[in-house]
Chain A
Amino acid sequence: MGRYLNTTVAKKFAMGLSGLFLVSFLLMHVTVNFVSTVSPSVYNSLSEFMGYNFVVQLLLQPILVIGVVFHFVMGMVLEVNNRKARPIGYEKFDKSSNTTWMSRNMIITGIVILLFLGLHMYDFFFPELAYKFGNGYDAAQVPDFYTGLVAKFQDPIRVGIYVLSFVFLMLHLLHGFYGSFQSIGWGDRNSRALKGFAKWFSILVPLLFIYIALFHYFGSL
């Protein structure tokens, strides 16, 4: 089995699979965030569940981190390999006549998303580590997640960075979501419906994230 995993097709399969996994996580994340614009208390209890549930924290979270790291490292490995496949380039290469900007620049949109993830971890993940894993569960210590969230979206520069990052996420998904199906060998007869679904998902989910950020920024003015 191991000898099969090293081929370009297997690597792309793994890339597609990890991409689809990350997309499913996005859907969950945007749903929870959206609740914050409707009901602070439900948002708080959802966040508490996510933050303290054993399965989420000790099983799903590590899988997610592994998924992100894998997707990025594999993306880099493939990019380096692909560059080696054409050591002498063209004098004139009209790429825009047959491909979209998104499809050609997944590495750029991917790196921007990764940088954003750094900021996101700094904003939300690291501060929570201390009380989550510090002294075990203590109901008195559970923070008011909603107030914390709104506080993060006071700074217009941070909101701007968030909005811009989600535009990059949209560009990444617009190519990557459907491409993932192609990479795992799906996308034949049902490809039109699948393409349409992937396209609208890729537009709407980042727009929702943007809406949530702006909602809390303007709501708190």
Chain B
Amino acid sequence: MKLFLKIWRQENAQAKGQMVDYTIDGIDPNMSFLEMLDVLNEQLVAENKEPIEFDHDCREGICGTCSLQINGQPHGPDRLTTTCQLHMRKFKDGDTIYIEPFRAKAFPVVKDLVIDRSSFERIQQAGGYVSVNTSGNTIDANTIPVDKESADTAFDSAACIGCGACVAACKNASAALFVGAKISQFANLPQGQVEATQRAINMVNQMDAEGFGSCTNTGACEIECPKGIKLTNIATMNREYIKATTKG
């Protein structure tokens, strides 16, 4: 396959950055998208040029680092797929492909396609956990009975890998789906009830402090989420927040 690539290049966080055109040939349709970028980088290194920085780690859809906006969609045209799971057979020979970093005020570009997603970490630190005594006499979580439906719902929410595609897809750069998933994961379990009030308030406050936009229910996040996190997680977050504020 021969492809025409338009890729965002940016020297560092302060630099201005721009789209740069590349042509690449001999791409195997069975390659993953990241492998295609590897090939391009080898080509650039051979030409003594600076390779393109992009994030990746597991390359099997679990770590959530491989975040690229491909042809205007986070993680590319496939549904329920991360960039690392996207194959080149989804494109046609001679296609032009736009590759950009996820864009949000709260996701500043570090270099080229690499963004800083520590805003997600800070939201998690604000309440995305349950406090457990780990002094040696930790009680097994399974001793607390959980009904199947709640366990399944919590598990579905816990599938979020924190990739940021929801923010990237949203016209408001809202992190509501991510925060909704992290809040719902605990809201559906008895272990999460103890800190439910503080969790909802602190995580929502942190989300706002990071500069994410607000949810206008467009649903782009749900469609682009590689882990199938449902919009209902946002309704749960709203409910948890309202409950928390009227309580405390």
Residues of chain A touching chain B, judged by Cβ–Cβ distance below 8 Å, are 1, 4, 7-13, 78, 81-95, 97-100, 103-104, 106, 175, 178-179, 181-188, 191
Q: Contacts A13-B238, A90-B69: A187 and B232 contacting too (C-beta < 8 A)? A: yes
B213 in contact with A91 (CB, 8 Å): no
Contacting pair B106 A85 (CB below 8 A): yes
Q: Which residue of A lies closest to B8 (CB)?
A: A91
Taking a contact as CB atoms under 8 Å apart, the answer to whether A86 and B103 are in contact is yes
Cβ contacts under 8 Å, A188 to chain B:
232, 235-236
- In the bound assembly, the distance between CA atoms of A85 and B241 in angstroms comes to 21
24 contacts between A and B (CB under 8 A): A4-B201, A7-B208, A7-B241, A8-B207, A9-B204, A9-B242, A82-B213, A84-B105, A86-B104, A86-B173, A91-B8, A91-B19, A94-B71, A94-B73, A95-B72, A97-B72, A103-B218, A175-B217, A179-B217, A181-B235, A184-B242, A185-B236, A185-B240, A185-B241
What is the interface size of chain B, counting residues whose CB is below 8 A from a CB of the partner?
Answer: 48
Contact of A182 among B6, B100, B106, B231 (CB under 8 A): B231
Q: Which residues of chain B from 1 to 28 have a CB within 8 Å of any chain A CB?
A: 6, 8, 19
| Residue from B71, B216, B241 whose CB has the most chain A CB atoms within 10 Å | B216
Q: Kindly specify which of B54-62, B123-131, B219-227 makes contact with the partner chain.
A: B219-227
Interfacial residues, chain B to chain A (CB-CB below 8 A)? 6, 8, 19, 69, 71-73, 77, 98, 100, 103-106, 169, 171-174, 201, 204-205, 207-208, 211-220, 223-224, 231-232, 234-242, 245
> Is chain A's binding surface mostly helix, strand, loop or mixed?
helix
Asked if A183 and B238 sit within 8 Å, CB to CB, the answer is: yes
Of all chain B residues, which has the CB nearest A94?
B72
CB distance from A78 to the nearest CB of B (A): 5
Q: How far is the CA of A99 from the CA of B72 in the complex (A)?
A: 13
Q: B100 to A82, Cβ gap below 8 A? A: no
Give A141 to B219 CA distance when docked, in angstroms. Answer: 53
Tell me whether A11 and B72 are in contact in the complex, defined as CB-CB below 8 angstroms, given that A99-B219, A182-B231 are known contacts: no
**Of B73, B232, B235, the contact of A98 (CB 8 Å cutoff):** B73
A100–B172 Cα distance when bound, in Å, is 15
Given the known interface contacts A8-B208, A85-B105, A91-B100, the answer about A185 and B239 at a Cβ–Cβ threshold of 8 Å is: yes
In the complex, what residue of chain A is closest to B19 when comparing beta carbons?
A: A91
Instruction: Name A85's contact: one of B69, B72, B212, B245 (CB within 8 Å).
Output: B212
Chain A residue numbers with a CB within 8 Å of B215 are 8, 12, 183
A109 CB to closest chain B CB (Å) equals: 12
Q: Is B214 within 8 A of A12, CB to CB?
A: yes
- Of the listed residues B172, B174, B205, B231, the one surrounded by the most CB atoms of chain A closer than 10 A to its CB is B172
- A104 pairs with B6, CB closer than 8 A: no
B172 touches A82 (CB 8 A): yes
Do A99 and B98 touch across chains, with their CB atoms under 8 A apart? no
Task: Please name all residues of chain A whose beta carbon is closer than 8 Å to the beta carbon of B217 when the two chains form the complex.
Answer: 103, 175, 178-179, 182-183
Q: Which of A84, A87, A93, A103: most chain B CB closer than 10 A?
A: A93
Contacts of B106 in A (CB 8 A): 85
Chain B's nearest CB lies how many Å from the CB of A18? 15
A81 to B231, CA, bound (A): 22
Contacts of B169 in A (CB 8 A): 98
Contact indicator B219/A103 (Cβ below 8 Å): yes
Determine the distance from Cα of A84 to Cα of B217 in the docked complex, in whole angstroms. 18
Cβ–Cβ < 8 Å partners of B98 in chain A? 91-92
Whether the pair A85, B238 counts as a contact (CB closer than 8 A) is: no
- Decide if B234 touches A82 in the complex (CB within 8 Å): no
